[in-house]
């Protein structure tokens, strides 16, 4: 049982003003695995004051000092990887191998990548008689989700520190355990007091207080589009910068000249990874009508392979979804798909056989789907793939772009030039060509209601910087 009923503020673990106790539920067992306290606006105030005081000196930290700090963080991070993986598995249900290699590993990867960017990033440049400098934006409020908890903490905290900002982090109250381990890592690495602060809480109690706070200069939020709208509205009165990474309903266009087996297998495996709880998952598979029946058969065979069960078991490849609210939403949408006339190829409503406890979902594929169905429009955020036929490339592109979202896209073709041509037509912040994996150096973010701003790598660092022009500076 984890006991994390303190907040990390001004370099110390302190008892919060907010005293509402909150159980962290293991989604595989539906039982409490730890306790935290939900904070109040007073806790946000204390954290912001600490961050504001620390900003005066930390913003002036040299590149060499920040590099040394990052090297210490990475070293301590590496030694805590097993602890992080266990906490992630306990709080959101990821199988242990995924929790260690992908979940905890991605957080470490963001620090390593940001360190490499920091070493040669040009914070100043001369433009004629004008000196242009890029300076830390200030105190940053970071609000992170439960589906990739350490990945999202790492991709925000790392560039914020590299820029010279100070931060107040609110991790998801559903998956806060790994965030507490992360705070201990930064404490052990010697991050100066007040530079990193963490306050547990829910959206109304702490998230809104962060968004509204007049002494916070920037909010970086990852979560649902609905919650992102609330953050932006709360932040508007103080005209702070708001960076958002929100929902997605990404299309995966399989072109007629693709290796059908490879394309379908890659698409299904990508969709089912992390139990489908990835905002950039390829949840709509678009297939040429003449190849549709064959593609459905291939997809069904691939979706039969995941082993759903106890995240601690070596044989398990798919754990539960992270919480009851999400489980109930997915079950509602699965039933909606049936009611609207889609065909359940595999899976469907209800728990997998033999699992009568835990938030487990059957790996599901729907065929005979059109893009007007609810399951093709709403972000399901579970291991659910919808397969949509198309008659021409123009129709495929139109279907792909017919969504309020624009986070990611996927194109598979036997001809790279064809794939590139279609990729340029997709209204999305990222496009994966022929199964290309995520690139931690590449900018991550979307168009339309998938958010604004970019995270990861060099572009992620830029988000935490203000640009100043000093005219008449001279050469």
Cα torsion angle, 178, 99, 118, 145, sign = negative
Active-site entry in 91, 173, 208, 245: 245
155 classed as catalytic: no
Active-site entry in 155, 165, 279, 379: 279
Cβ neighbours of 67 (radius 10 Å) = 14
Tokens, residue 319? 């754990």
122 classed as catalytic: no
- Separation in Å, CA 132 to CA 117, 118, 123, 142, 365: 19, 18, 8, 27, 53
Whole-number Å distance between alpha carbons of 407 and 386: 17
Q: What are phi and psi of 253, to 5 degrees?
A: -90, 115
Backbone dihedral region for residue 350 (phi beyond 0: left; psi -120 to 50: alpha; all else: beta): left
Whole-number Å distance between alpha carbons of 332 and 328: 6
**Residues with active-site annotation:** 245, 279
């Amino acid at each position: 049982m984890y006991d994390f009923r303190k907040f990390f503020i001004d370099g110390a673990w302190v008892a919060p003003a907010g005293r509402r106790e909150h159980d962290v539920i293991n989604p595989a067992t539906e039982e409490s695995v730890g306790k935290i306290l939900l904070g109040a606006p007073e806790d946000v105030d204390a954290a912001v004051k600490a961050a504001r005081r620390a900003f005066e000196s930390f913003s002036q930290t040299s590149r060499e000092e920040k590099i040394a700090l990052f090297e210490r963080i990475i070293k301590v991070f590496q030694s805590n990887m097993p602890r992080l993986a266990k906490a992630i598995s306990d709080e959101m249900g990821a199988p242990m191998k995924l929790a260690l290699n992908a979940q905890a590993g991605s957080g470490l990867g963001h620090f390593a990548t940001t360190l490499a960017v920091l070493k040669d990033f040009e914070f100043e440049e001369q433009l004629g008689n004008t000196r242009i400098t890029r300076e830390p934006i200030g105190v940053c409020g970071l609000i992170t989700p439960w589906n990739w908890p350490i990945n999202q903490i790492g991709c925000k905290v790392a560039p914020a520190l590299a820029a010279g900002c100070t931060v107040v982090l609110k991790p998801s109250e559903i998956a806060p355990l790994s965030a507490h381990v992360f705070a201990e890592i930064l404490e052990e690495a010697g991050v100066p007091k007040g530079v990193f602060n963490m306050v547990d809480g829910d959206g109304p109690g702490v998230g809104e207080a962060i968004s509204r706070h007049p002494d916070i200069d920037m909010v970086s939020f990852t979560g649902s589009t609905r919650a992102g709208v609330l953050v932006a509205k709360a932040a508007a009165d103080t005209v702070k910068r708001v960076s958002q990474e929100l929902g997605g309903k990404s299309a995966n266009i399989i072109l007629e000249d693709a290796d059908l087996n490879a394309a379908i297998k890659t698409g299904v495996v990508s969709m089912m990874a992390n139990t489908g709880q990835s905002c950039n998952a390829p949840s709509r598979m678009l297939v040429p009508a003449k190849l549709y029946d064959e593609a459905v058969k291939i997809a069904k065979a691939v979706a039969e392979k995941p082993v759903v069960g106890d995240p601690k078991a070596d044989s398990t490849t798919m754990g539960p979804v992270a919480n009851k609210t999400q489980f109930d939403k997915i079950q509602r949408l699965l039933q909606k798909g049936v009611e609207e006339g889609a065909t359940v190829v595999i899976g469907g409503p209800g728990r997998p056989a033999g699992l009568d406890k835990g938030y487990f979902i059957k790996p599901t594929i729907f065929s005979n789907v059109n893009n007007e169905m609810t399951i093709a429009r709403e972000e399901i955020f579970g291991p659910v793939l919808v397969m949509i036929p198309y008659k021409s490339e123009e129709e495929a592109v139109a279907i792909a772009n017919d969504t309020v979202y624009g986070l990611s896209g996927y194109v598979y073709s036997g001809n790279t030039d064809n794939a590139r041509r279609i990729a340029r037509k997709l209204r999305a912040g990222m496009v994966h060509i022929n199964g290309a994996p995520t690139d931690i150096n590449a900018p991550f973010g979307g168009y339309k209601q998938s958010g604004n701003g970019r995270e990861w790598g060099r572009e992620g660092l830029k988000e935490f910087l203000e640009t100043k022009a000093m005219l008449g500076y001279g050469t």
